[in-house]
Chains A and B, each alone.
Chain A
Amino acid sequence: DAGVTQSPTHLIKTRGQQVTLRCSPKSGHDTVSWYQQALGQGPQFIFQYYEEEERQRGNFPDRFSGHQFPNYSSELNVNALLLGDSALYLCASSLAAAAQNFGPGTRLTVT
């Protein structure tokens, strides 16, 4: 039974470009959350998707957007990349009140 998977593993983009990160939740999970983790810091909540809608959002600008598909997979899009967007982007999935399971993350470097 595969856990949470994310793609790509690593990504290098130039300032001003746009990026799309992908996440497949653990089998049976219907809720997907995205987090940004800067080097040496704890993960910061970006937003959460449930039933294909954004259910909650953290303190991130509108440049960060997302989508959830009918099969519960999700995408995170970031427009107009800034150097400060360089981080590990984590996807977590869950079902109901159970603990969130995290994927391995996508390491984004903006140059």
Chain B
Amino acid sequence: GESVGLHLPTLSVQEGDNSIINCAYSNSASDYFIWYKQESGKGPQFIIDIRSNMDKRQGQRVTVLLNKTVKHLSLQIAATQPGDSAVYFCAEETSGSRLTFGEGTQLTVNP
């Protein structure tokens, strides 16, 4: 079936380190992927997206990598800051713009 999953439920890093959050997806036909950040009590916030015709996309301090061969997605956050602490979801767009989310990774940044 269509599903998106995450390898690790929690990730703890030191302030200033780089963070890498991973995601596996199962639907090889999916062509659009999005990373969202969700802080406690708030709605998901768009971070970065990537389409299947790309392998890498960079934003401000964030990079998304897509490996279609092994159906793997990752989010890299450079110089992680305390404000980056949140739950991160990858989402897969399937059959006409509906999003399928994984369980999320809780990122904790230690000062």
Q: A48-B98, A94-B97 are in contact. Are A43 and B44 (CB under 8 A)?
A: yes
Query: What does DSSP make chain B's interface, helix, strand, loop or mixed?
Result: strand
What is the bound-complex CA distance between A48 and B98, given in angstroms? 8
A82-96: which have CB < 8 Å to B? Answer: 90, 92, 94
Question: Inside 8 A of A35's CB, which chain B residues have their CB?
Answer: 99
What is the bound-complex CA distance between A44 and B101, given in angstroms? 7
- Of chain B, the residue at the smallest CB distance from A58 is B98
| Cβ proximity bits B84-111 to A, threshold 8 Å, 1 near / 0 not | 0000010100011111111110000000
Are B99's CB and A90's CB within 8 A?
Answer: no
- Of chain B, the residue at the smallest CB distance from A101 is B46
What is the bound-complex CA distance between A104 and B42, given in angstroms? 5
Report the contact-size class of chain B (Cβ under 8 Å from the partner).
Answer: 20 to 34
Query: What does DSSP make chain A's interface, helix, strand, loop or mixed?
Result: strand
- Of chain B, the residue at the smallest CB distance from A90 is B43
Are A103's CB and B43's CB within 8 A?
Answer: yes
Are A56's CB and B98's CB within 8 A?
Answer: yes
- Of chain B, the residue at the smallest CB distance from A98 is B49
Are B45's CB and A102's CB within 8 A?
Answer: yes
A12-58: which have CB < 8 Å to B? Answer: 31, 33, 35, 41-45, 48, 55-56, 58
Are B34's CB and A99's CB within 8 A?
Answer: yes
Question: Inside 8 A of A43's CB, which chain B residues have their CB?
Answer: 44, 89, 99, 101
Q: Tell me the smallest distance from the CB of B57 to a CB of chain A, in Å.
A: 12
| Cβ proximity bits B30-65 to A, threshold 8 Å, 1 near / 0 not | 001010100000111110010000000000000000
What is the bound-complex CA distance between A62 and B45, given in angstroms? 29
Q: Tell me the smallest distance from the CB of B38 to a CB of chain A, in Å.
A: 9
Where the two chains meet, the residues of B that have a C-beta atom closer than 8 Å to any C-beta of A are 32, 34, 36, 42-46, 49, 89, 91, 95-104
